[in-house]
């Protein structure tokens, strides 16, 4: 029966081309606007590590002095050098990584390539295994290299393509900041969205081009970027004091029990630091999971939420207009529907026929909406925001486009279809 109803729907839509075009246009405009904003929100609010996020946590401590203290205050979003190194050496997590963002001057061996500055990640060895960073060539460095200021570097795929034409460059030498570094690994394509492990350099920044052992970068005084927060006598000149927070510390805890134990360890550590006179405040710690950290940090721009509500409101307006157009169209066919009823068709059959016609309008409108969404996302990518380049329609959102178009049109068609099928057939036959 569905095939028969679908044929009737196509005939009816062809018979009233202007009315059909208006309904399709209304649906296409509403779906296009809605799916553009929904796709942007989907990209920006996704889980950057869906297979691992439940095990990743971001510890926060509060080493600040008493100035400006008030009950319930959140601890700083980063850790100090002293706290970071203490937590790293304690080794209480399954994996852990202390890091900060930086920049290095690269002097290519090829004279045809001019020297340039590149964003860098100064980190410890577990960064790669903890965040499931894929390698194209080579591997990460080990514990000995972490502890001994080894001059090693891991390149991103982008930098390896630029400097070495994409071939395996492991074992070669790269000069950075006037020093020679041996390449031990090259990453495969990797850009987690959001840039969760360091939101101070941008919520949706690209992944860094080079990765260096943390102690090596600090001892060579490579410049770091990102935010910093100092208090008391702390200054930006000596970031190794305990009076500035400027580093990110992540841990992997494989079970909820380990997470509870680690939070208690943070409380005990804070109490110990206070008893030693290093901390002035009472223990104030947080241990948020990856997705909790993203929610707390409000990584999705507020204007994206506003645009979504506006687009959904526009979709409702389009659907209201579609209801009126369908009601006019179905009621104009009362004579035809009356003949079908007189020949024995039930109200349910007529109702189903009209809903199939409404769904067909939604399907065609979905195709138009998809084209408008692709155009809308192209305009988003032209914007100067750091997330603009991420606005692409993936397979789930493609399926969602047609699901939303058809389901919304079916809902819009309920009232017109019911109103048309409840008309008594006898008066319609007389009028016909």
Residues 58 and 149 in one domain: yes
The whole-number pLDDT of residue 429 equals 47
- H/E stretch holding 59 reads strand 56-60
| Residue with the two structure tokens 């410049």 | 223
Peptide bond preceding 194 in cis form (omega within 30 of 0)? yes
pLDDT digits (tens, 9 = 90+) for 368-404: 989 998 898 888 888 777 777 777 888 888 888 888 8
**Are 61 and 7 in the same domain?**
no
Which residues contact residue 173 at a Cβ distance below 8 angstroms, ignoring those fewer than 6 apart? 109, 180, 181, 182, 183
Three-state secondary structure readout of 64-112: CCCCCCCCCCCCCCCECHHHHHHHHHHCCCCEEEEEEEEEEEEECCCCC
Considering the domain architecture, whether residues 157 and 203 belong to the same structural domain is answered as: yes
Considering the domain architecture, whether residues 140 and 23 belong to the same structural domain is answered as: no
Residue with tokens 């502890």: 147
281: β partners = none
The pLDDT of residue 302 is 76
Same domain, 150 and 103: yes
- How many independent structural domains does the chain possess? 2
258 & 343 share domain: no
Please say which residue of 268, 297, 326 terminates a domain: 297
Residue with tokens 């009209």: 354
Spell out the per-residue pLDDT of the chain, length 432, in tens.
Answer: 667 667 766 777 777 788 888 888 888 998 989 898 888 888 888 889 999 999 999 999 999 988 877 887 899 999 999 999 999 999 999 999 999 999 999 999 887 889 999 999 999 999 999 999 999 999 999 989 998 889 999 999 999 999 999 999 999 999 999 999 999 999 999 999 899 999 988 888 888 999 999 999 999 989 888 888 888 776 655 677 778 899 999 999 999 999 999 999 999 999 999 999 999 999 999 999 999 999 999 888 777 878 888 888 888 888 888 888 887 777 676 666 666 656 666 777 777 777 888 888 888 888 898 999 889 888 888 877 777 777 788 888 888 888 888 888 888 888 777 777 766 555 544 544
Does 239 lie in the same domain as 169? yes
Give residue 362's Cα distance to chain centre. Answer: 29
pLDDT for 431: 47
Q: Indicate whether 306 and 226 sit together in one domain.
A: no
Q: What is the pLDDT of residues 244-290, one digit of tens each?
A: 899 999 999 999 999 999 999 999 999 999 999 999 999 999 999 99
Of 248, 264, 297, the one marking the end of a domain is 297
Range of the domain at 68: 53-297
- Phi/psi at 67 (nearest 5 deg)? -65, 130
* pLDDT tens readout for residues 284-323: 999 999 999 999 998 887 778 788 888 888 888 888 888 8
Non-local CB neighbours of 300 within 8 Å, separated by 6+ positions: 41, 44, 45
CB contact at 8 A, 314 and 405: no
Domain boundary among 263, 297, 331: 297
The whole-number pLDDT of residue 360 equals 86
Task: Write out the two tokens for 97.
Answer: 């990584």
The reply to whether 144 and 250 lie within a common domain is yes
Does residue 178 sit in the same domain as residue 284?
yes
29/77 same-domain check: no
CA dist 360 → 62, 322, 388 (Å): 60, 13, 34
Extract the tokens encoding 54. 């439940």
Helix (H, G, I), strand (E, B) or coil at 375: helix
Look up the pTM and report it.
0.81
Separation CA 214–CA 102 (nearest Å):
10
Asked if 310 and 261 sit in the same domain, the reply is: no
């Amino acid at each position: 029966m569905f095939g028969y109803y679908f044929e009737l729907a196509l005939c009816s839509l062809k018979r009233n081309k202007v009315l059909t075009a208006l309904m399709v246009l209304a649906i296409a405009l509403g779906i296009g606007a809605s799916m553009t904003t929904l796709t942007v929100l989907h990209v920006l609010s996704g889980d950057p590590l869906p297979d691992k996020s439940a095990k990743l946590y971001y510890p926060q401590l509060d080493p600040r002095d008493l100035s400006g203290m008030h009950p319930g205050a959140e601890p700083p979003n980063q850790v100090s050098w002293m706290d970071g190194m203490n937590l790293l050496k304690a080794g209480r997590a399954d994996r852990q990584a202390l890091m900060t963002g930086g920049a290095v001057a690269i002097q290519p061996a090829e004279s045809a390539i001019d020297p340039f500055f590149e964003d860098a990640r100064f980190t410890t060895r577990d960064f790669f295994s903890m965040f499931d960073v894929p390698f194209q060539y080579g591997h990460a460095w080990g514990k000995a290299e972490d502890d001994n200021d080894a001059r090693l570097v891991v390149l991103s795929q982008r930098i390896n393509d630029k400097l070495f034409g994409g071939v395996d460059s492991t074992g070669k030498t790269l000069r950075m900041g006037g020093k020679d570094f041996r390449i031990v690994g090259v990453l495969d394509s990797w850009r987690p969205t959001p840039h969760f492990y360091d939101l101070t350099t941008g919520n949706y920044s690209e992944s860094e081009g080079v990765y260096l052992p943390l102690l090596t970068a600090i001892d060579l005084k490579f410049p770091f970027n990102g935010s910093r927060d100092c208090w008391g006598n702390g200054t930006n000149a000596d970031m190794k004091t305990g009076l500035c927070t400027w580093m990110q510390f992540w841990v992997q805890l494989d079970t909820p029990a380990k997470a509870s134990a680690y939070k208690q360890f943070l409380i005990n550590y804070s109490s110990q630091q206070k008893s030693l006179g290093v901390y002035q405040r009472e223990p104030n710690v947080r241990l948020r999971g990856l997705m909790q950290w993203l929610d707390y940090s409000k990584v999705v721009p507020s204007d994206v939420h506003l645009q979504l509500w506006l687009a959904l409101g526009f979709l409702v307006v389009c659907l209201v207009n579609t209801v009126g157009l369908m009601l006019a169209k179905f009621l104009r066919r009362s004579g035809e529907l009356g003949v079908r009823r007189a020949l024995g068709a039930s109200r349910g059959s007529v109702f189903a026929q009209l809903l199939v016609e409404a769904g067909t309008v939604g399907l065609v409108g979905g195709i138009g909406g998809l084209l408008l969404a692709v155009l809308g996302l192209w305009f988003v990518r032209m914007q100067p925001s750091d997330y603009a380049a991420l606005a692409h329609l993936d397979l789930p959102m493609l399926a969602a486009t047609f699901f939303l178009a058809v389901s919304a049109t079916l809902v819009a068609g309920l009232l017109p279809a019911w109103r048309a099928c409840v008309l008594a057939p006898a008066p319609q036959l007389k009028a016909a």
